[in-house]
Amino acid sequence: MTLSDVPPASTAWLDDRRRAAAQRLGEPSLPTTDEEVWRYSRIDELQLTDWSAPSAPARTDLPPAVAELLSTIGERAATVVLCDGFVVHAEISPHWADRGVFAGRILDAPAGAEAALGAVAGEGVDVFGPLNDARTADPVLVHVPAGVVLDRPVVVVDWIEREGVAVHPRLVVHLGRDAEATVLEWQGSAAVAALSLPLVELELEAAARLHHGSVQMRSDAVWQIATQLSRVATDATLDSTQVALGADYGRTRTDCRLVGRGATGDLRAVYFGAGTQTLDFRTFQQHAAPDTTSNLMFKGVVDDHSRSVYTGLIKVEKDARGTNAFQTNRNIKLSDHAWAESVPNLEIETNDVRCSHASTVGPIDEDQRFYLESRGVRPEVADRLIVAGFFDEVLESFPVPEVVATVDAVIQQRLDRGAGPR
């Protein structure tokens, strides 16, 4: 990467930030599968030079799929739509704007907003942090002031339209003390090949409550390596649910750092791999303060020749007495050719904690299938019902229930397509 690769900036501070990141990064050196956190990944296939950063979005109107999504959700506190990494639409209810809520381009935010960018991420957890810092075209900020409770969701849609692009979306969500909000991220694309390297920062001040949902439905020719980093302060609660259905290779690293006494992080995910997809998840539940709680439940299904990877770490630091931390990963294989890897881990540096981890990988439970078939349910219908029930535990908690029907429809399409002998 050279400084000439850095997108033009609208303000000096963002320009300076990009250039500093590019200088720090130099020529990007990608990780390898020799590194434990990248074990089982497909990182060796990635060539950054195969993709080019767009200078402008391919379209500025709402793609039909995005318009349909927004119609499904209905009334929203705010909406931000990106196309090819650029904000093309931002609106906020005047009621919430008058109360100090902001959602849109960080370049349009009130003075001082730049301090939020990088406050959680720092210089990043791997090379993709400074890469995002250097190449992000149009960072988005969602800010909810102290004491404000939103009763409608904030929706951020990240859409890729152009073939062959590399996009570096950046989303910063900041909740002030005792604020509450629901934020939905929707990641989609046209039927194009592209590279997406998004970075999300979630900052919760004391007693804040964030209900966060993300849905990844990229095309099957997109490569995505995403990073979600959160910092949760005293008595604050992060409730985050991911859905991953798209991409050729879709990876998400999720770090939840509980830094204040009584902080809580609930992390959930559902994923369904089909064809030759690889869906890859790395999670870090980091307990840095006393009396903190984290609960993780990731559930996945793999079919055809698809693969899934889950590696998780619960880390309890020496000052985090009274920690409660739980980590569970469950996987169902619908095909003999599918493959799932599950590696949960614990690292505990203090006493007086309750921690557990569990993982399973296997086919559909034959007892459940037999029970349904013995009552006249056809085998392919039985499998659909079992998978739907398997995912329900997570999807019932999705913070924007209006989009669950869309997710269910994609899952059912995959099950219908795969019906028959395996």
pLDDT in tens, the chain (422 residues): 333 344 544 688 999 999 999 998 888 899 999 999 999 999 999 999 999 999 999 999 999 999 999 999 999 999 999 999 999 999 999 999 999 999 999 999 998 899 999 999 998 999 999 999 999 999 999 999 999 999 999 999 999 999 999 999 999 999 999 999 999 999 999 999 999 999 999 999 999 999 999 999 999 999 999 999 999 999 999 999 999 999 999 999 999 999 999 999 999 999 999 999 999 999 999 999 999 999 999 999 999 999 999 999 999 999 999 999 999 999 999 999 999 999 999 999 999 999 999 999 999 988 998 889 898 888 888 888 999 999 999 999 999 999 999 999 999 999 887 654 44
User: Where does residue 398 rank: exposed (0-12), middle (13-18), buried (19+ CB within 10 A)?
Assistant: buried
Which pair of structure tokens corresponds to residue 129? 């942090």
What φ, ψ does residue 14 adopt, rounded to 5°?
-70, -35
**Beta carbons of 305 and 276 less than 8 angstroms apart:** yes
Residue found by looking up tokens 């999670």 in the block:
283
User: What stretches of 3-141 show up as alpha helix (H) in DSSP?
Assistant: 12-25, 64-73, 94-97, 128-135
Angstrom distance (rounded) from CA 201 to CA 121: 6
Angstrom distance (rounded) from CA 7 to CA 359: 43
pTM: 0.95
Strand bridging mode 78-83 / 86-92: antiparallel
